[in-house]
A and B are shown apart, each in its own frame.
Chain A
Amino acid sequence: MFGLGTSSIGSVNVMTSDKGGLTNEQVADLAVEKIVSISDEAPAHIRQQANQFREHLKYVLYHYLLLARKEERGSIIQVLESSGHKEMAEYIRRL
C-alpha cells in the first residue's frame, strides 16, 4: 500500500496600497520574501545571521529600486520633452 503522508497549502503574502502603486519599501519586502526563507527549526545563531542578511538585502534592494524608478522617470521625461510635452514632463519630474 502506498500512502501520502501530508498534503499542504502554503501561506500567501498580500501587499496592498492606496491611491497609487506599491512603495519601494513594499516592493523590496516582496523581493526579500522570495529570496530569503528562514526555517523555524534552524539553530538560533543561523537564524540571526539569516535575519541580518535579510535586512541588508532589503536595504540594497530598496536603494536600487529607488534608482530604477528615478532613472525610468528620467527616460520618460526625456521622451516627453523631446516631443514637446514640457508641462507633462514637469509633472513627472515633480513625482
Chain B
Amino acid sequence: MAIAQAMCNSFKKELMLGTHNFATNGNAFKLALYAEGSGGKSSTTATLGFGTTAYVTTGEVATSGSYTTGGVALTKVAPSVATSTSTATAFADFADLSFTTATITAMGALIYNDTNGDKAVCVLDFTSNKTSTSGTFTVQFPTADASNAIIRIA
C-alpha cells in the first residue's frame, strides 16, 4: 500500500531528542493531504508510511478552496496523561480541520512539524479515496482520550 497509517519511526527517535513540542505555545504542526492514483497534483502516487521522515510534495493534493499545498496549520490541544496509574497513556490531540469550497480527492494525510525542518510525525490512512467536489472536506480527529486519541504513548 502506498499510504499506510503509522507513527513515523524518525518521530519516535526525535521525541527523545526533544525535536517536537506539542504544547499549545510549542511548535507549529501542519496536516498535508495526499492521494493515490490521479488525485494528487503530482502524477506520481504518494508513498507514505513508518519510514517517512519529512514532508514530501510527491502525490500531495493540489490547492483547492481553503486547502493549500504544503498543508494547513493544526490547532494543538495540550498533551495530557492520567496521574493515578503507573501504566497511564499520554496523548496529544488537534482540533478538527475543515476545507470549504474545495475539490479534493485524498487517500491519506501526513502530520509534520512545520517549525523543525518539516519533520514527519505520523501518516494517516483514510483507507479509500475521499472526495469533495466544490464542497467541504472535513478531517475529524478521534476523541482525545487514552484509548482513541490521535497520538498515544503508553
A residues lining the B interface (CB < 8 Å):
4-22, 30, 33-34, 37, 39
Contact = CB atoms under 8 A, between A and B. Distances in A.
Contacts of B135: 16-22
14 contacts: A7-B152, A8-B152, A9-B6, A10-B148, A10-B149, A12-B109, A12-B141, A13-B140, A14-B130, A16-B136, A18-B135, A20-B136, A33-B140, A34-B140
Contacts, number: 98
Q: Chain B interface residue count: which class?
A: 35 or more
B23 interface: no
Contacts of B132: 16-18
B53 interface: no
Interface of B: 5-7, 12, 87, 96, 100, 104, 106, 109, 122-124, 126, 130-143, 145, 147-154
Contacts of B7: 7-9
A34 B96 CA distance: 10
Contacts of A8: 7, 151-154
A5 B152 CA distance: 11
A34 B143 contact: yes
Given A7-B152, A7-B153, A34-B143, A14 B138 contact: yes
Instruction: State the majority secondary structure of interface residues on B.
Output: strand
Given A6-B154, A7-B7, A22-B136, A13 B131 contact: no
A9 B140 contact: no
